[in-house]
Amino acid sequence: MKRATVCQSGIVRVWNFDAMHMNAVCEQTYSIRNSSGKVSAIGWTCDNKYLIVGTTTNKLLIYLIQPFKLIKALFIPNESSSNHAKKPSIILKQVPQKSELPIIKVICSSFNGKLCAIGYGRKGYILDLRKGKRQFSLWDLDTIQMRDHISHMYMSKDNLWLCVISEKYETQYFNVAMGENILKPATTLPPWTIEWWPKLPLTNWSLQGLYQEEWKEDELNDGDCLIDRALAASGDKFGIVRLHTFPALTKQPLFCALHHSTPVTSLFFLKDEKHLITINGNDKSIFCWRIE
């Protein structure tokens, strides 16, 4: 199973996880150093054709993997900047706090590799990857608007649904019409039989037990599940990893680990369904757990 990591200085590494020997081998290294700010998010298309990088200066950088080269750079306009341009110059502007400035935080490719959902602050965008006049263009710019910053995005494997979750777990669903380049707010909940990509949405009813009783608002950072093995895992901002039964309808975990010293920013099960990967928040160190 291959995964990619990127550091803020712009070095991308492709890792092959060797579950049998409990290690990961770096197979490829790319440099994407540029003047476009620090890297804030990274995403691969499912066919491994494109690498999409988000930066702290509102830019999307699209790289072709073979041969590795930059083929497109897109700028996402800062809404606050455009609003300031309309004001008279004599009006003093209050500079927003650094923590309030939006960044590209989420990049989620569709299962067929033709679309990519982008989470930028409280707004969401769709990047079109299909060949033709609209390739590498953004569409439906004003449809996705959340009350808090977007933290997770998921697409259904049939490419008909988009799920958007904010930092405080507000959840919105959208219908995707690829033929018309339209994204519409859903008027009904998606069918319970739907298959999501890259994994089950964090606020799905079957994962409700991941959220602990004593928590107040945004403590749960990520979760994943193994439906066939009836297991679910969670990582929180306190650095705790929990293993639950699936569906996770109760808050009592099967196992609890305190090995992370900083928040667990992301986690996922490997395809062999015997190992769990967790990512440490501050130094981005990678933990590999064997499930027995």
Q: CATH says 1-76+101-189 is which class?
A: mainly beta
**Domain boundaries defined on the chain:** 1-76+101-189, 199-292
Give SS3 for 142.
strand
pLDDT at 22: 64
Phi then psi for residue 106, to 5 deg, are -130, 135
The tens digit of pLDDT for each residue in 76-107 reads: 877 554 444 333 333 334 444 444 678 899 99
This prediction's pTM: 0.86
Model confidence at 285: pLDDT above 50? yes
Per mean pLDDT, which range of 180-184, 219-223, 229-233, 239-243 is the poorest?
A: 180-184
Angle at alpha carbon of residue 283, lines to 275 and 286, rounded to 5°: 10
Between 9 and 184, where is the model more confident?
A: 184
